[in-house]
């Protein structure tokens, strides 16, 4: 990667349909997966991990059909480190104009204990399986699962083997969400410095959110040289989830001044995808979720509402339209002030004179004390009462 524009471009790898779907209870139907994949493709996601083809016939068919329908994105299928899995992944993704095989094995001592492979035996397995994948497909991603708890010497050794066997992307998973930003950056920097051939491939970061640091860890890895972020819509994923696509993409957009890396994402599609994934997975988005939560662009307190009405930048660091929302949401409650009430009433078609506004405002405050949120219909009813008492 020598060209500067290439160096500043971060690839977005979406795994909502694979790691996201692994969330207990988040199973999606074949048609729902195809619909989400089409939306991801249109949004500009560089790589869609469409599923784990060996896992079931349904997974295989979904990956195959996504590979057939997608126009722009690379379509990737996951496989464990054995030829049967890899062949099955290839059978599914080969229908794409841009197929990728992703193969992985757990490299940390805990995982080596489970597979009962010595370091040398595992190194040999990695060589064989990456070579096998590369003989089928010229776009191969390899992941040392639990990389952040793997001994550094061993990690360097196996990454080098995978590169020599033909891997074109090396993904460094923080499988259990254990790392922290500085460590995440140091690990990528160490691999880039120490592993021969590291400058020929793309390093990816794959973070889980067990300690709530997935977004910070992914961005730290990018600052250290990773050029692919693995993420999911709404941060869906096993346990506390994966890095949220909307968070890393908007962080890179809003703080481009200090993180000058570009993605190819059309951010105006974010909200539509968030709603779609929430609906089909059955996992609602928490109200205060960054970027896509119901309250992310909502303001209730009088000071905030007044500020936002005068200049949105006072309390908003991004525009609602940037993520595909039509407008800032002024939530009317007991903390709201006169300026917000005037603006809200105007939105509802009533341009109030000062004396009318004063009257409706008194009624509104009395109601807001009894009710958590005052809805548009409540306000219209207050308007009618005020007009009737005149
Ligand atoms: O978290 C993880 O380690 C994974 C791998 C399969 C890449 O999802
Ligand atoms: Zn994962």
Is the confidence at residue 1, as pLDDT, over 60?
Answer: no
Q: Is the pLDDT of residue 263 over 90?
A: yes
Average pLDDT over residues 159-165: 98
Does 209 contact ligand 1 (Cβ within 6 A)?
Answer: no
Q: What is the CA(175)–ligand 2 centre distance, in A?
A: 5
User: In terms of pLDDT, which residue wins out, 375 or 112?
Assistant: 112
Better pLDDT: 78 or 373: 78
Give 290 Cα–ligand 1 centroid separation in angstroms: 24
Is it the case that residue 155 has pLDDT exceeding 90? yes
How far is the C-alpha of 293 from the C-alpha of 289, rounded, in Å? 4
Mutate to test the pocket of ligand 1, among 145, 159, 240 (most ligand atoms within 8 A of CB): 145
Residues with CB under 5 A from ligand 2 (ion): 19
- How sure is the predictor about 24, in pLDDT bands with cuts at 50, 70 and 90? confident
Average pLDDT over every residue of 220-229: 98
Top mutation candidate among 13, 15, 19, 144 for ligand 1, by most atoms within 8 Å of CB: 19
Residue 173 Cβ inside 6 Å of ligand 1? The answer reads yes
Confidence tier at 282 by pLDDT (50, 70, 90): very high
pLDDT value of position 139: 98
Residue 372: the pLDDT is: 84
Closest ligand to C-alpha of residue 238 is 2
Ligand 1 close to Cβ of residue 134 (< 6 A): no
- The yes-or-no verdict on residue 2 having pLDDT over 50 is no
Residue 5 has a pLDDT of: 58
For ligand 1, whether the C-beta of 145 sits within 6 Å is: yes
- Please tell me if the CB atom of residue 16 comes closer than 6 angstroms to any atom of ligand 1: no
User: Given ligand 1 and candidates 76, 111, 141, 175, which is best to mutate, with the most ligand atoms within 8 Å of its CB?
Assistant: 175
Q: Considering only CA atoms, which residue is closest to atom 8 of ligand 1? A: 19
Mean pLDDT of the chain: 95
Q: Is 176 in the pocket of ligand 1 (CB under 6 A)?
A: no
Residue 6: predicted pLDDT: 61
pLDDT at 330: 84
pLDDT at 199 over 80: yes
Answer yes or no: is pLDDT of 61 > 70: yes
299-351: pLDDT as tens digits: 888 888 888 888 888 888 999 999 999 777 788 999 999 999 998 888 787 88
* Ligand 1 site, residue 59, Cβ cutoff 6 A: no
Q: What is the mean pLDDT of residues 93-118?
A: 98
Average the pLDDT over 256-283 and give the result.
97
Q: Is pLDDT above 50 for 18?
A: yes
Query: For ligand 1, atom 2, which residue shows the shortest CA distance?
Result: 175
Ligand 2: distance of its center to the CA of 59 in Å?
A: 17
Q: What is the pLDDT of residue 328?
A: 74
Annotated binding site for Mn(2+): 19, 206, 208, 242
Rounded to whole angstroms, the Cα distance separating 123 from 130 reads 11
Q: Name which residue leads in pLDDT, 346 or 255.
A: 255
Average pLDDT over residues 111-125: 97
């Amino acid at each position: 990667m020598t060209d500067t524009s290439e160096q500043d471009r971060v690839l977005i790898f979406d795994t909502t349909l694979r790691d996201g779907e692994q969330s207990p209870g988040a199973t999606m139907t074949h048609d729902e997966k195809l619909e989400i994949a089409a939306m991801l493709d249109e949004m500009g996601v560089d790589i869609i991990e469409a599923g784990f083809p060996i896992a079931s016939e349904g997974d295989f068919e979904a990956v195959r059909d996504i590979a057939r329908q997608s126009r722009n994105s690379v379509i990737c299928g996951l496989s464990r480190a054995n030829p049967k899995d890899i062949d099955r992944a290839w059978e599914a993704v080969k229908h794409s104009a841009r197929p990728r095989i992703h193969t992985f094995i757990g490299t940390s001592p805990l995982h080596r204990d489970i597979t009962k492979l010595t370091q040398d035996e595992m190194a040999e397995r990695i060589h064989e399986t990456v070579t096998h994948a590369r003989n089928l497909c010229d776009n191969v991603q390899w992941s040392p699962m639990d990389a952040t708890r793997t001994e550094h010497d061993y990690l360097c050794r196996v990454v080098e083997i995978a590169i020599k066997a033909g891997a074109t992307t090396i993904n460094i998973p923080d499988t259990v969400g254990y790392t922290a930003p500085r460590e995440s950056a140091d690990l990528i920097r160490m691999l880039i410095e120490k592993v021969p051939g590291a400058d020929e491939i793309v390093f990816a970061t794959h973070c889980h959110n067990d300690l709530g640091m997935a977004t910070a860890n992914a961005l730290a890895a990018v600052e250290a040289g990773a050029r692919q972020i693995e993420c999911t819509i709404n941060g869906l994923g096993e346990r506390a989830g994966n890095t949220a696509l909307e968070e890393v993409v908007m962080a890179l957009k809003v703080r481009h001044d200090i993180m000058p890396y570009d993605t190819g994402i059309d951010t105006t599609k974010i909200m539509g995808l968030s709603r779609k994934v929430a609906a089909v997975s059955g996992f609602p988005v928490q109200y205060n979720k960054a970027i896509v939560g119901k309250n992310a662009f909502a303001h209730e307190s009088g000071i905030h509402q007044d500020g936002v009405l005068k200049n949105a930048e006072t309390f908003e660091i991004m525009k609602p339209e940037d993520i595909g929302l039509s407008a800032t949401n002024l939530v009317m409650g007991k903390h709201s002030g006169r300026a917000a009430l005037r603006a809200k009433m105007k939105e509802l078609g009533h341009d109030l004179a000062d004396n009318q506004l004063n009257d409706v405002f008194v009624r509104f405050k009395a109601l807001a004390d009894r009710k958590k949120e005052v809805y548009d219909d409540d306000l219209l009813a207050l308007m009618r009462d005020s007009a009737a008492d005149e």
